Amino acid sequence: MIRSVNIFLLFVSVAMLSGVYALKFSIEGTAAERTALALKINEQEGELSLLKADWAVLNQPGHIDPIVKRHQVELELTPVAQEQFGAFAALPMRPEKPDAASMDALFEAIAEGVDPIDAIIELDGAE
């Protein structure tokens, strides 16, 4: 009886030992993958910082200006004129004070559950 229990425990311990070794090798593989990913991330961060530095150099006006002058005729580039932006005189003036009757009518319509935007759309005949 004791002999059969010893044999059984020997097989169980061998099975547990093989399970522990399999788990160990699995964890080592995962750690190696993690290390490889960390190295790849560090390399890509270095490349990204290099690309950002290149982009900063390429966007400097001193670098762009000769290129623009060289291709100005083909691209039909002209300097921006001030008139393209408009003038302050073209902006509508702010009303001095809001129309109290219109505001009261708006708030009454909202209180009654009427959607004022929907009513404007219906008046315009857009629906």
pTM, 2 dp: 0.44
The shares of helix, strand and coil residues in the chain, as percent rounded to the nearest 5, are 80, 0, 20
Q: What is the pLDDT of residues 16-69, one digit of tens each?
A: 999 999 999 999 999 999 999 999 999 999 999 999 999 999 999 999 889 888
| For residue 126, pLDDT beyond 60 | no
Mean pLDDT of the chain: 88
- For Cα atoms 122, 126, 127, give the angle at the middle one, nearest 5 degrees: 75
DSSP secondary-structure letter at 87? -
Across 55-65, b (16+ Cβ under 10 Å) vs e yields eeeeeeeeeee
Expressed in angstroms, the distance from the first to the final Cα of the chain is: 93
